[in-house]
A and B are shown apart, each in its own frame.
Chain A
């Protein structure tokens, strides 16, 4: 009986994860390494990977900065009423509950060329929707809770006493943050960065709606895979998908390593 269950568990694991990954790898190399290489070095593929890279870098930077600040203000700010804090706290989680496609749609409705705000930006020559800024905003919307939710519990756990102690010893806000708060939250931040990178690397729905998926302009790696599949170009799709999957696997290994470091600390 026990053997049966073990067998079943492995079978589920195989069917859900190993088999598709294997099939995708085989698909990517169905025309040999040359086919894989050609799929990757198509100009639109290179551009899409570059776009994804840019989005990941910008989103991770912004999300780290504002995520840390948001977490600090939500946990530490005594000037916010508890009701306001509670409201902000639940709004932070909104992207978890809302489908990314709807998130993208909200951005189009708010900042699209037909909206008042979008028109203002259009006039000063900044295109947001169907352009890079919109893609960044959409990805930020989706990834925002990741950083905040990693840092908040740590801040709550360490409490404000160490920071108060620093202030009675003469340290002002900035010194206190770097010398006292940062060493306590840095592993949470690293964890949050890894999650943000992974999530923004794979983001599809929100970006698809906001970017318009314009080849060589606003197409990202994931939306290109989608398009290749639509065009029955399975080899090309598999190639790019394999690159993304390899990157994600690398991130997971990094996360495991950082977890172990955290325990050592």
Chain B
């Protein structure tokens, strides 16, 4: 289902939970709504489902405005954070509920439930009650139940929040596969960036009720549009004044801040760099072993920068003096934000011999 949202607003009392949100979702895509807790993600999802009424704005499914349609008629499936399974019904009855309500005939119901039980790997559990299932199994029942009436849009509210870390990983890839196989447009809410990056085709970053950026995980990582997105996605260090960094003096005169990701920084001995003039002196403060690499904390001009260093390279020691090259930085001021390469990396007067 093609989903279009225009100028969506929602207040809860004095609290402006969702602020003028616009977006469109292509049919068949899996979208992650990502952002800090209390940012309005769940409110957006609930308005799409019809469980909450927007104060203003338009929600369009398939070119048809659905603002006045109740949840019953929106052809959606909703998976709740705590599953919300009908606790007095068996797995079979839970999955069959939506079909029974729609008065499907008995034979159809049996076939559809059997199909979903197969698809979600719940075979043999049909007679169990929710309290006799593990967290992961309940989650699967919730999926199967939401998918049973063949909805056009699947909405998932923090689908993995209540599951322990080990099974979560497994369920993520399972969900990704399942949704691909069913081919249903899906939107899920999460506050876990790894989850969003791993599962979603596209991510929408929501902060304080606003949609900050929408795009593929790679685009968002590579080109964050707002300082919030830059800090929220990936690791980074914030530098109060970009001009203090070597190679970033020409920032347009305005006070400009810089965000630096670990992979933007290179550390090593002076002779390891081609353009030694672009490097700065730093002191290794701490070393943390991260399994496949070293996490290096290095101090440059009173700023603490963080980077990774391969295990293949010579091991550093804390207190050691070292050359640091900042390849690029994400700069922002009151007016705009942009990514800037280190100005000294390009030799201003190349000499050809």
Specify the main secondary structure of chain A where it touches its partner. helix
A167 and B98 in contact, given A162-B84, A184-B87 (Cβ under 8 angstroms): no
Inter-subunit contact A167/B70 (CB<8 Å): yes
**How many residues of chain A have a CB within 8 Å of chain B?**
19
Q: Check: B18 CB closer than 8 A to any chain A CB.
A: no
Inter-subunit contact B101/A162 (CB<8 Å): no
54-100 of chain B: CB within 8 A of chain A: 70-74, 76-78, 80, 82, 84-88, 97-98
Q: Which of chain A's residues have a CB closer than 8 A to the CB of B209?
A: none
Interface hit among A49-57, A94-102, A113-121, A170-178:
A170-178
- In the complex formed, the residue of B with least CB distance to A176 is B101
Q: Which of chain A's residues have a CB closer than 8 A to the CB of B31?
A: none
The answer for the CA separation of A151 and B31 in the assembled complex, in Å, is 40
Query: Which of A165, A168, A183 has its CB near the most chain B CB atoms (within 10 A)?
Result: A168
Distance between B101 CB and nearest chain A CB, rounded to angstroms: 5
Q: Check: B41 CB closer than 8 A to any chain A CB.
A: no
Inter-subunit contact A164/B101 (CB<8 Å): no
134-180 of chain A: CB within 8 A of chain B: 158-159, 161-162, 164-172, 175, 179-180
Contact with A along B172-206 (1 / 0, CB 8 A): 00000000000000000000000000000000000
Q: Check: B149 CB closer than 8 A to any chain A CB.
A: yes
Q: Check: B119 CB closer than 8 A to any chain A CB.
A: no
The answer for the CA separation of A152 and B322 in the assembled complex, in Å, is 68
Q: Which of chain A's residues have a CB closer than 8 A to the CB of B76?
A: 168
Distance between A230 CB and nearest chain B CB, rounded to angstroms: 52
The answer for the CA separation of A161 and B50 in the assembled complex, in Å, is 13
- In the complex formed, the residue of A with least CB distance to B103 is A170
Q: Which of chain A's residues have a CB closer than 8 A to the CB of B88?
A: 183-184, 265
Which B residues are closer than 8 A to A by beta carbons? 49-51, 70-74, 76-78, 80, 82, 84-88, 97-98, 101-102, 145-146, 148-149
Would you give 16 A-B contacts (Cβ < 8 Å), ordered by A? A164-B80, A165-B78, A165-B80, A165-B85, A166-B86, A166-B97, A166-B101, A167-B70, A168-B51, A168-B71, A168-B74, A169-B98, A170-B102, A171-B72, A175-B101, A179-B86
